[in-house]
């Protein structure tokens, strides 16, 4: 809510996030791949930045990048 008053204050929360990444190179070294896995809210805690707005539970994002040389 827009008003900065004690009634609108949300409870404190914490989340556990992790990131794993790896670079792969083919034998000729001209082709490089980066793969990254982001894992957010691993403990599936319920939290809110904004009252009445549902925040995601545990979620994953996989990113693959290819470098053209």
The model carries a pTM of: 0.67
Q: What is the pLDDT of residues 6-49, one digit of tens each?
A: 887 777 888 899 999 999 988 877 888 999 999 999 999 887 77
Write the secondary structure of the chain as one string of H (helix), E (strand) and C (coil): CCCCCHHHCCCCCCCCCEEEEEEEECCCCCCEEEEEEEEECCCCCCCCCCCCCCCCCCEEEEEEEEECC
**What local confidence, expressed as pLDDT, does residue 69 receive?**
67
Half-sphere exposure of 2 (CA within 13 A, CB side): 0
What is residue 35's predicted lDDT score, i.e. its pLDDT? 97
């Amino acid at each position: 809510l827009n008003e900065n008053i004690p009634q609108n204050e949300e409870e404190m929360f914490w989340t556990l996030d992790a990131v794993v990444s790896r670079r792969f190179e083919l034998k000729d070294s001209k082709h490089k791949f980066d793969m990254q896995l982001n894992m957010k809210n691993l403990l599936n805690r319920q939290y809110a930045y904004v009252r009445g707005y549902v925040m995601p539970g545990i979620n994953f994002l996989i990113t693959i990048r290819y470098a053209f040389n």
